[in-house]
Amino acid sequence: MKRIKSLRIELVIFIFAALIISVILALLINSIVKNDFGIGRKDDKQTYEYVYKNKINILVNSLHRIKNYNEEKAEDTIKRFWEDSYTIYLVDRKGRVITGTNSSTLKIDPQYIKNGYKSVSRLSDKNGILQNDRRYYANVEGCYYIQNGQYLFFNYAGGVEDDNKAFLYLLILFPLIYVLLISGRLRYLISINKSVRIIAEGDLTYKVPIKYKNELTRLAQDVNYMVSELQTEEDKRKEFLTNISHDLRTPLTTIIGYINMIQERKYETEAELYEYISIMNRKGSYLKTMLDDFFDYSKLSSKDIEFNVEVIYIQELVRQIIEEEASFFKKGDLELIAALDDNPINISGDGELLYRAINNLLSNALKYSKKRTTVEVNVNQRIIHKKSYGVIAVSSVPLQKVSEAEAAKFFKRLYKQDKSRKQNGKKVGSGLGLSITQEILKLHNGKAEVKIQGQRIIFELILPKDTANNISIQ
């Protein structure tokens, strides 16, 4: 069997793959548009704002807020904000340095000492080029009036970050690349959806193409399996209608034929007339039995049936059925034997339905068992998956050998081992008896099974003992 990969794992892999590809492309595009088109490069004004807002604006505001301003407080404030890339001075109007971060500088050119002075120049690294496509060197100067005739003059010589559009490109590229990577899976999912619609419209020959090795593959396989089962059910439906037509037409033809003979007085004696009526009665009874079976199966399979829950002592129910049927088995040259568990087995269910289910098994055994053999009915308890069940088993020797494959089909609707639809020269029933039995067991949350053991075939009805509050029909 092919190993099925998890679609979730595939999608996670696609996420990481899309992220890696998007990052690479975003950086590449960012570099191209910046170097070739200048998009993202800071101009002088933006460069100054970058340096000013990064540190100086906070320092200037802090110096403005000093109460009882003096040089010592100003010097302490400057030291707190000082960084290596910045050279900061507190100067007077003539440019004399009162205090600063570089003690070797005693005076600043007075022409630069004015409130709002700004100067920006770009620097090259040792190779004469920008450091990289995201950062460049700049020399920035500025001057701001503080208090008491003193000014703050600063110089910044260091790197400046360009506006980076890479993240924006990443946000755009990632969903596009991810959708592209999973597009094959999306198309396949759409293909499955279209296939289901085609099948739903009645084309049961259509198959979903199998691709990949993930949950979508399993979904496609399940859809194809469903179609196969639907086709099987469709074939059964056609066979069902054919069988109904055959089974109803034959006795109806006979009845109509005898009615015509009676109407045309094509009989010589009253005894012959009664014989015609007797045949018509038998055929009518046969038709009624068949129609009852069809009707009951339809109600059971749709759960449209009255369900009367009561506590049932299984051994007593089986004993009652055996007493009623024993004479029929004796006439059929069969010996009916019962082996009932001594420990009481009680279940909750519908007594009439269970009576019919058991009676169907005995009826089958009566019709299809070899003469001068025994039909055994056993009732016992069985533990299945730690739950206690009551088991009713009917064992017999069939007229002809039955394979395991054939036995597995016995509970299928209308399945008859003899395709001529006769046994021992006699017309058999509707073919719904075992199907009805199975539906009854389903209503009781039980199951019906069949197995071959040597020359014998064994039908088992398995019923949970604790179904009082767990019945399918409300």
Phi first, then psi, for residue 190 (nearest 5°) are -65, -40
126 vs 329, more confident: 329
For the chain, what's the residue count?
474
Residues 6+ apart with CB under 8 A from 283: 251, 252, 254, 255
Q: At 171, is the pLDDT very low, low, confident or very high (cuts 50, 70, 90)?
A: confident
For domain 306-464, give the fold: Heat Shock Protein 90 (3.30.565)
pTM score of the predicted model: 0.52
Positions of CATH 3.30.565.10 in the chain: 306-464
pLDDT in tens, 174-205: 889 888 888 888 888 888 888 888 888 888 78
- Residue 413 pLDDT class (50, 70, 90 cuts): low
**Token code pair at residue 30:** 């960012």
CATH 3.30.450 placement within the chain: 41-163
138-161: per-residue pLDDT in tens?
889 999 999 889 999 999 888 776
Which residue is listed with tokens 């069997």? Answer: 1
Residue 472 has a pLDDT of: 46
What pLDDT, on a 0 to 100 scale, did the predictor assign at position 162? 60
User: Does residue 33 surpass a pLDDT of 90?
Assistant: no
CATH 2.60.40 describes domain 41-163: no
In Å, how far are 57, 188, 222, 314, 354 from 441, measured between CA atoms? Answer: 86, 41, 27, 14, 8
DSSP letters, 386-443, are TEEEEEEEEEE-BSS---HHHHTTTTSTT--S-TTSEETTEE---S-HHHHHHHHHHH
